[in-house]
Chains A and B, each alone.
Chain A
Amino acid sequence: MVTILFDGIAYGMLLFILACGLSVTLGLMNFVNLAHGAFALAGGYITANLMNRLGVSFFLCLPIAFLFSAAIGVLLERTLYHRLYDRSHLDQVLFTIGIVFMTVSAVDYVMGSGAQMINIPDALRGRVEFLGGSIGVYRLFIIIICGLLTILLQLGLVRTRFGSRLRAAVDDPRVARGLGINVNLVFAVTFAIGSGLAGLGGALGAEVLGMDPTFPVKFMIYFLIVVTVGGASSVTGAFFASLILGIADVAGKYYVPKAGAFIIYAIMVLVLIWRPQGLFARSATR
């Protein structure tokens, strides 16, 4: 019981780190980005390749994965994505699906279709006993890292000058521009951080979630669930939604393996019928 709860929390935390970038672009900037998983894929692959081919330490790979994905994110944002901010949702969906298709095929072509293996360092292997349950050390590591990041993110968004600039830029880009805020820069940095976090999540999660070229398609749905169920307007909403989703998924797979993902989708649809703006939405989305 404790083990399942703990695994669920770890899984949920991981989902949150993977999806929180999406909750900002989709929730705050109102941009439907189905290609978010591609950044996680980039993070997972760079880690696997650095570790397996060059023997770089896992702990060093994590920040590299973050920076690598963030760099790709900012590159794409500046060249392509920013053109689509004011386009219709249909255009955004089509465009990002196109990106997903291209990523999946390109990665398959370059790296092969097999799953990427990440050997986590020995220090993170093994299990500890806790409240009568046995807990993987790696899971504990994930929870600690993701927990710290969550706190940092929340503080950054609420307490810092950059956070308030971002919120202003999202609420009303024109007025924000008039106040001298460099809206384009703010969006680009936000996008980079979101992609970077996805990359970090991909690196951390490769061992737990599995990393192969179809990753962006497989987990796109989970990311979207997190954002829509959590309510697209807050990071805390996405956080709780990830935890619920993580625990429900792990528990569901353990107790009723036959029902599989059915429960998750059913819960999502029910929540969306009940509260179309998401569970934790402050107000109607714009």
Chain B
Amino acid sequence: MTEATMAVTTAQAPAAPAARRLLIASARWRWWEFAVWIAAFAAIVLLPRQLLLLNEIAILALFALSLDLILGYAGIVSLGHAAFFGLGAYAAGLIAKFGYGDPLLGLLGAAGCAAVLGFATSFLLLRGSDLTRLMVTLGIALMLQELANRESWLTGGADGLQGVTMAPVLGRFDFDIFGRTAYVYSLCVLLVLFLLARRVVHSPFGLSLRAVKLNPLRARAVGISVNVRLVAIYTMSAAYAGVAGALSAQTTQYVSLDVFDFIRSADVMLVLVLGGVGYLYGGILGALIFKAMQDYLSSVTAQYWQFWIGLVLVILVLVGRDRIGALFSRITVPFSRGARS
């Protein structure tokens, strides 16, 4: 029994034993989860030539994980999640540029900036329909992009932010050209944040979020304060996206305007949907598939790989995401039952 399940059981002491067992079962670690992380760390030794790509995958996975928190657990459809990614990237880049090259400090700064923006903008999402939310999130990302473009004295404008120099991680591990340090660093950050997210979604807070997603009206009726929860999870998700942006800025030591692009927001949504929404591993799986696909396709048809990405999206929707998900859970049925409720 993990900590998460302890919290569930203590908070819901009077709950029926059957319900309690179900909650405990859903939060339990499964063998394939360990396998995923062991494989991720084993890749450091097994795939030494692919570390730069793996680093990108880890960052994309974290970004998709942040979207999963709001889309998969709170049901907020966002087309502007790149706003937080971009803000985090610029924050980390600028912190490093102005002499504070310590990566962890940059991460904290980026997470803080993104969380503040997330908190401030989360109130805009409490009203209106899906469409309004789409437009507001998209609008915020575009505004930031315009702002970054205009304030070129600070951000470098269309040339991108250059001159980002990073100090070694923890004062010991220098970033190398093979991406070894970068990958290990990103993977560790991903693991820590993943564990935190896992803890959160299996807590009473996370469970109540699911209730909100399934039916906001009823959730409110049983006494869940919907708005507080949406604000909290949106802020958290923004901070995660900010960290993902910061990792990208620190490991590539460069930030360009396209961090705010609509395409980036759309891509991350595709990544998440590819991997599956609402069970936390979707981001990781999706990032793996997406990057592998991108790597392969852009070596075959350099500039037209977007066509195939589009085709995958269309087919995915036509076949039905649920059906693909069902296929997946049929394969792993004995271990993942309840994980995707």
Give A contacts to B, CB under 8 Å. 26, 32, 80, 83-84, 87, 89-91, 93-95, 97-106, 108-109, 217, 221, 224-225, 228, 232, 258-262, 265-266, 268-269, 272-273, 276-277, 285
Contacts and interface: CB of A to CB of B under 8 A. Distances in A.
Contacts of A94: 269-270, 273, 313, 316-317
Interface string B7-18: 000000000000
Instruction: List the 6 closest pairs (A to B, CB-CB), nearest first.
Output: A98-B313, A101-B310, A276-B128, A105-B307, A102-B310, A98-B314
Interface in B290-335: 303-307, 309-314, 316-318, 321
A273 B131 contact: no
Q: How large is the interface on B (under 10, 10 to 19, 20 to 34, 35 or more residues)?
A: 35 or more
Given A228-B135, A262-B150, A277 B71 contact: no
B310 A269 contact: no
A265 B77 contact: no
21 contacts: A90-B273, A91-B317, A93-B79, A98-B314, A99-B310, A99-B314, A101-B306, A101-B307, A105-B306, A105-B310, A108-B303, A221-B142, A224-B138, A228-B132, A259-B146, A260-B146, A262-B146, A265-B139, A268-B135, A269-B140, A272-B136
A268 B139 contact: yes
B129 interface: yes
A32 B134 contact: yes
A95 B314 contact: yes
B306 A84 contact: no
Contacts of B79: 93
Interface in B94-150: 124, 127-132, 134-136, 138-140, 142-143, 146-147, 149-150
Contacts of A99: 310, 314
Given A89-B131, A228-B135, 4 more contacts: A93-B269, A102-B307, A225-B135, A276-B129
B80 to A, nearest CB: 10
B321 A97 contact: no
Interface of B: 71, 77, 79, 124, 127-132, 134-136, 138-140, 142-143, 146-147, 149-150, 262-263, 266, 269-270, 273, 303-307, 309-314, 316-318, 321
A98 B132 contact: no
A90 B70 CA distance: 13
A265 B262 contact: no
A72 to B, nearest CB: 15
Contacts of A269: 124, 136, 139-140, 143
A280 B129 CA distance: 16
Contacts of B316: 94, 98
A228 B132 CA distance: 7
Given A93-B79, A262-B150, A285-B129, A102 B318 contact: no
Nearest to B147: A262
Contacts of A272: 124, 128, 132, 135-136, 139
A268 B143 CA distance: 10
Contacts of B310: 97-103, 105
Contacts of B269: 93-94, 97
A98 B273 CA distance: 12
A11 B149 CA distance: 25
Contacts of A217: 262-263
A221 B138 contact: yes
Contacts of B321: 91
B153 to A, nearest CB: 12
B317 A232 contact: no
B317 A98 contact: yes
